[in-house]
Structure 1
Amino acid sequence: LSTGTTIVLSSYHWLLAWIGLEINTLAIIPILTMTPHPRATEAATKYFLTQATASAVILFSSLINAWQMGEWSINSLTNFPMNALSVAIMMKLGLAPLHFWMPEVLQGISLSTGLILSTWQKIAPMTLLLQVSHLVDLNLMVVIGFTSVLIGGWSGIGQTQLRKILAFSSIGHLGWMVIVLKISPQLSLLNFLLYIIMTSSIFLSLMTISATKMTEIAISWPKAPAMTMSMMLILLSLAGLPPLTGFAPKLLITLELVKQDMLLIALSVMMISLLALFFYLRLTFILSLILPPNTASSSPIWRTSNKSLSPIAMINSLSLTLLPLSPTLLLLM
């Protein structure tokens, strides 16, 4: 995984970037099938087919561009190859309307593998998108970003499986990044970094309490009250509520859209984000305000685990308290 991502990060040549993406895809397939279950095999098959299709489109568009321009440089693309490439990268990222594989794949794998899929596997495609941000079509980015925020909020409302909820949450957050990609790539990069921190913290918290369904987080308070409290705040941070970390990217993106006289888009995206806020608040309500009956499954654990929670505590702190530092981080970029 690290080899493929490093090749993409260091490449200025489309063929090298494509090779890096292929190494990335082939490296995670055995990790997806690590769990001996038909759902894991199905998830790996779906992931491979979608990623292979997107890689074929990337290779096709780069070949057309090399034929037209006579070079393979990432920063020189004509109109049609650029649009085809943008769509292919967005399929790799799982952006709407090419998002259908993302919830199904996440549902069929473990939480630890889902963490890799939702964070590390997004780095290489997002890097390519940031490198060509000055060439992308603004209207295409706005339409895909707007659709992703809408689908990410609307589809997550009726879900009871936490992995599917996190998949739609990922789609919505990536939509915010794509909307502002053409206008301010630095702001999009800041949003991506904060997204990785917050998503990692919620996945690690769920792995600690071994919860994959809403009914399982409802009985987590007696078992791990401190972890449950921090997880509740992380969900509110993902929702973008002040004064938590997740509020910063939404505020900065909205201000940037207003500065570019895109008032209608800014207002529409903010209103649609209320859909996602609903299911975040629903999870928070289950975590904090529903006390389960005192059964054996909800009693405090008398034989605790010896594993260290220091890394989780550190990343949870980052996902909750980075709001004051966000303007400084943006200036440093």
Structure 2
Amino acid sequence: MTSWIMMKMLKFNKKLFINKFNNFKLMFFMTLILGTMISINSNTWINAWIGMEINLMSFIPLMFNFKKSSNSIMMYFITQALASSLILFSTLMMKIETNLVKLNMMFSMIQLSLLIKLGAAPMHWWSPKTFINLNWKMGFIFLTWQKIAPLILLTSSLNNNLLIYMSMISSIIMGALLGMNQSLIKFVMIYSSINHTGWMLLALMLNTKLMIFYFMIYTLTNFMICINMNNSNFNYINQLFKINNQNIYIKMLSISMFLSLSGMPPFLGFMPKIMILIIALNNNLYLESLLLIITATLTLSFYMNPMLSMFLTMKLSMKWNNKISYIHKSMQMLILINLLISLMILPFLMKLL
């Protein structure tokens, strides 16, 4: 009887702890959003720094997932604290110095710290080590929401485009080369994010509206992939062989998401990339456009690994079980959204830019 009471008390305490933890997660999600909103709506660098600190202190508790998360938390905290200290130091020095050369150097330091927070190459060394131990939900926030504040703040510090240009070139090259021959889906996603960061930095220098549009398409595509991987509990590429036992529509959904992220026409991800290439060619950026096309081809090569695992290695017995392979209506809508609409919307968007 005593042991039964003890078991009931332990279960009750566990449920109470889980409920409290979920309440704290909701609070940290709210402060995470608040910190980003403070940063992108601030008029001074001090206010932007405060917003990014609130965002940092809210995201660190959300990274805790009861597994090997301590290394990721410390890596993320040290890197973001270093970038925040550079912003604060540069802002204070700008208040003291009156020499124009030193002021430009302070602006360059602020740009460097924002690029570190963004995870752009060559300051990308910390992002794979942080992303590898996150779950897919926190990984989606890491890939998308945490990039909003640095990208928006970079638009207000475009006095020295050389640093952003060099980071853009290195991000495109490093993201394409390091993502090849990876066995972890998370490594494919993070190096893909570094490559997409280079595209967004180029769009940032050319047209801010185009950068926002590119980021929205990138967020939508990452949302579909992360939700699919989270529901399936997949981490390695060889685990995608399990999809061979499912319906052809689930394969179409998964393949269309990776093709959209790679920018393959006529999927949704092709639309912002072709717009960036058109505007880059109009600004006589021929070598940069050639580099973008070459690296896009390289990134498509490592996107093909998950797709080959999902589609080409089928079982010899082609028996589809409709009961197991039921697709929710919302997932069917994602397939329709991700397919041929890019070529229909592209002419109208080109008139707006």
Q: TM-score range by the shorter chain?
A: 0.7 to 0.9
User: What are the within-5 Å matches in structure 2 for residues 1-333 of structure 1?
Assistant: 1-33=32-64, 35-37=65-67, 39-68=68-97, 78-132=103-157, 135-223=158-246, 225-291=248-314, 309=328, 312-315=331-334, 317-323=336-342, 324-326=344-346, 328-329=348-349
Question: C-alpha deviations, 1:190-215, integer Å up to 9, x for none?
Answer: 11111111111111111122211111
CA drift of 1:120 comes to 1.2
Which amino acid in 2 is paired with 1:218? F
Q: Hey, which bits of structure 1, 4+ residues long, moved more than 3 A?
A: 299-305, 308-322, 326-333
| Pair 326,106 (structure 1): closer, same or farther in 2 beyond 3 Å | farther
Deviations 1:139-179 (A, max 9, x none): 32221111101111111112111011100000000101112
Matches of 1:322 and 1:288 in 2, distance apart?
A: 23
Tell me the amino acid that sits aligned with residue 36 of structure 1: F
Matched to 2:228, the amino acid is S
Structure 2: gaps (5+ residues)? 1-31
- Higher RCO structure, 1 or 2 (CA under 8 Å, sep 6+): 1
Structure-1 separation of matches of 2:163 and 2:200: 13
Residue 248 of structure 1: how far off its partner (Å) = 1.4
Distance 1:98 1:113, change over 3 A: same
Cα deviation code 1:36-82 (max 9, x no counterpart):
11x21111111111111111111112222232369xxxxxx942122
Amino acid at match of 1:40: S
- State how far apart, in whole Å, the 1-side matches of 2:129 and 2:85 are: 22
Distance 1:316 1:304, change over 3 A: closer
Distance (whole Å) between structure 2 residues aligned to residue 256 and residue 46 of structure 1: 37
Tell me which protein shows more helix as a share of its residues: 2
Task: Give, in whole Å, the separation in 2 of the partners of 1:304 and 1:319.
Answer: 20
Distance 2:92 2:328 in 1: 48
Normalising by structure 2, we get a TM-score of: 0.82
State the superposition RMSD in angstroms.
2.6
Question: Which stretches in structure 1 are left out of the alignment for 5+ residues?
Answer: 71-76
Q: Is the 8 A contact 2:237 2:305 kept in 1?
A: no
Residue pair 1:136, 1:182 contacting (<8 A) in 2 also: no
Give the aligned residue type for 1:68.
E
Distance 1:292 1:219, change over 3 A: farther
Q: TM-score under structure 1 normalisation?
A: 0.87
Work out the CA distance in 2 between the residues paired with 1:23 and 1:312.
Answer: 34
State how far apart, in whole Å, the 2-side matches of 1:99 and 1:171 are: 8
User: What is the number of equivalent residue pairs in this alignment?
Assistant: 318
Match for 1:54: what amino acid? Answer: A
- For the 8 Å contact 2:271–2:346, the answer to whether it is kept is yes
**Cα gap change, 1:179/1:304 in structure 2, threshold over 3 Å: closer, same or farther?**
closer
Give the Å deviation of 1:222. 1.7
The answer to whether the 8 Å contact 2:120/2:194 transfers is yes
CA deviation after TM superposition for structure 1 residue 188, in Å = 1.7
| Pairwise CA distance, 1:253 | 1.2
Name the larger-Rg structure: 2
1:74 corresponds in structure 2 to: none
Aligned mates of 2:120, 2:226 — CA distance in 1: 20
